[in-house]
Amino acid sequence: MNGKLLSDNVLVLVEEPKEQKVGSIIIPDTAKEKPQEGKIVLVGPGKTNNEGKIIPMSVKVGDVVLFEKYAGREVKIDDQKYIIISQDNILFVK
């Protein structure tokens, strides 16, 4: 993957929930919960404070994280679904 992230952003590989089926009823995508867990695949350098110094990131590539439900922006790179979120939206690191 070419490119880099800016500031305190992280690129997270989102695992799609398995298709839910109740009896013979298939639950449509619009009724499914948004995923809130994923694996970090790319990390930005960190936020810049008022003095111009970079505050290092608390997470690293490979961390599995839980993040806020409606955080970030979904992107598709090479037919793979990712979400770009700020480190501030990460709630838990496994």
Structural domains of the chain ordered from first start: 9-16+29-93 (2.30.33.40)
CB 1, CB 42: distance < 8 Å: yes
Query: Which pLDDT belongs to residue 92?
Result: 94
Would the pTM count as exceeding 0.85? Answer: no
Query: Which pLDDT belongs to residue 25?
Result: 74
Query: Which pLDDT belongs to residue 35?
Result: 66
Which pair of structure tokens corresponds to residue 36? 């809130």
d(CA 78, CA 45): 23
- The answer to which of 21-25, 38-42, 71-75, 84-88 has the lowest mean pLDDT is 21-25
pLDDT classification of 47: cutoffs 50, 70, 90: very high
Neighbours of 1 (CB within 10 A): 10
Q: What's the order of all strands across the beta sheet hosting 64-67?
A: 73-77, 80-86, 9-14, 37-43, 64-67, 90-93
Q: In this predicted model, which residue has the larger pLDDT, 40 or 27?
A: 40
